[in-house]
């Protein structure tokens, strides 16, 4: 296989990896002039089994070929050459998550959450299109240099499960990531993928898988019966919130697990936000220019008193009245309504009978009445008009007095 120079129309350039089921190559598609990854699948079975196997392979590969998501490796083409079925896929210039975990050292918590959230979003998309992976594991997750996670091998996992009758050892080649229902032979659904991703996330955070055993039987027992220790007990950088998320993903009962990969992804994203302080430029709640700015309790009280109530308070329109007294004073230009003869006489008599009273100095700019001692008011100035009025008043008083005497 390693000396093979072409598969179908694809020109083999290099061998990328080898597994129990076949080999992965980097190849060139001369028709479209693009680099692809070719994954071969060995169909060297009895004739009766191969017919069913091949039919299932094409059915699953077609379903996988309809998936187009940024976190899923795209399937371009499927075919068969001799006893080899092959799948031409998007070539990813990256590394397997398996190699990143090979040293059994935990990844940074933020990086682990980013990877798991992306994988969960890719699985959610596939589940919406009625495609279940059934074999989510680090070897099937590729990480690009910019941190993008890509899920590979959609459509191939079902082929592995079909081999159970004749190649049981193949399906259990990497059973650490299988769900309890898969271990006991029940049908796997989308919640099985959630469990497998929970195992991967646990390993990313602690460097170790949650279920381990000396043999396959011991491992299967752990998967179906053992509850692993919270990852924070092995990695103090793991927040408690993440302990609860993983516990829910690893629930033995499918009904107690996350019911969708989308919900799993949403919780992972929320947990990721708690690991770093919010950026001022990227958090709209910190900007007072937004439609709903967040205020402290003190700021809310200030708004209630100085802003919220002000437009509703009728006295707001009366504010100018406080500064309006000068405008309400009627200028005493001649005999105004505020300057009738009786009032003027009283003022003049008061001034005449109390010449010691201090009158405020006259202000040439004053245009209205001013206050005198004892609450009396006088006009703007004392001129000829006032002298004439005073003389007339005195003469009238003398005339009245003479009339009374003569009578």
With a CB cutoff of 8 Å and minimum separation 6, the contacts of 216 are 172, 175
Say how many CA atoms lie within 13 Å of 369 toward its Cβ.
Answer: 20
Q: How far apart are CA 304 and CA 69, in angstroms?
A: 49
Q: Which entry of 29, 114, 135, 153 is annotated as an active-site residue?
A: 135
Q: Three-class SS of residue 217?
A: helix
Neighbours of 236 (CB within 10 A): 7
With a CB cutoff of 8 Å and minimum separation 6, the contacts of 120 are 194, 197, 261, 262, 264, 265, 268
Phi, psi for residue 333 in degrees, rounded to 5? -95, 100
8 A C-beta contact, residue 224 and residue 183: yes
8 A C-beta contact, residue 228 and residue 188: no
Active site residue 135: yes
The H-or-E segment that residue 35 falls in is strand 34-42
Q: Active-site residue numbers?
A: 135
């Amino acid at each position: 296989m390693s000396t093979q120079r072409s598969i179908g129309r694809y020109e083999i350039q290099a061998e990328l990896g080898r597994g129990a089921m076949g080999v992965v190559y980097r190849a060139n598609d001369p028709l479209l002039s693009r680099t692809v990854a070719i994954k071969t699948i060995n169909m060297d079975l009895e004739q009766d089994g191969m017919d069913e196997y091949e039919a299932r392979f094409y059915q699953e590969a077609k379903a996988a070929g309809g998936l187009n998501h940024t976190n899923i490796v795209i399937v371009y083409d499927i075919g068969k050459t001799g006893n080899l079925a092959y799948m031409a896929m998007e070539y990813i210039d990256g590394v397997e998550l398996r190699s990143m975990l090979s040293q059994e050292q935990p990844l940074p918590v933020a990086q682990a959450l980013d990877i798991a959230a992306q994988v969960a979003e890719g699985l959610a998309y596939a589940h919406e299109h009625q495609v279940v992976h059934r074999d989510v594991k680090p070897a099937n997750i590729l990480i690009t240099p910019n941190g993008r996670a890509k899920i590979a091998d959609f459509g191939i996992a079902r082929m592995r499960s079909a081999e159970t009758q004749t190649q049981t050892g193949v399906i259990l080649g990497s059973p650490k990531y299988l769900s309890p229902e898969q271990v006991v032979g029940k049908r796997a659904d989308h919640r099985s993928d959630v469990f497998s991703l929970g195992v991967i996330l646990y390993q990313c955070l602690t460097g170790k898988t949650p279920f381990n055993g000396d043999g396959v039987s011991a491992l299967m027992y752990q998967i179906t019966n053992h509850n692993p220790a919270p990852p924070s007990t092995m990695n103090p950088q793991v927040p408690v919130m993440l302990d609860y998320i993983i516990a829910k993903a690893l629930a033995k009962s499918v009904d107690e697990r996350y019911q969708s990969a989308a919900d799993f992804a949403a919780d992972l994203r929320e947990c990721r936000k708690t690991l770093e302080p919010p950026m001022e430029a990227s958090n709209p709640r910190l900007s007072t220019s937004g439609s709903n700015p967040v205020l402290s309790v003190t700021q809310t009280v200030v708004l209630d008193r100085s802003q919220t109530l002000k437009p509703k308070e009728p006295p707001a329109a009366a504010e100018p009245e406080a500064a309006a007294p000068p405008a309400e004073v009627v200028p005493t230009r001649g005999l105004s309504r505020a300057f009738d003869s009786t009032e003027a006489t009283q003022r003049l008599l008061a001034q005449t009978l109390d010449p010691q009273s201090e009158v405020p100095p006259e202000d040439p700019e004053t245009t209205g009445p001013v206050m005198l001692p004892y609450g009396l008011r006088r006009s703007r100035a004392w001129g000829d008009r006032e002298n004439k009025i005073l003389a007339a008043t005195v003469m009238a008083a003398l005339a009245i007095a003479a009339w009374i005497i003569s009578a």
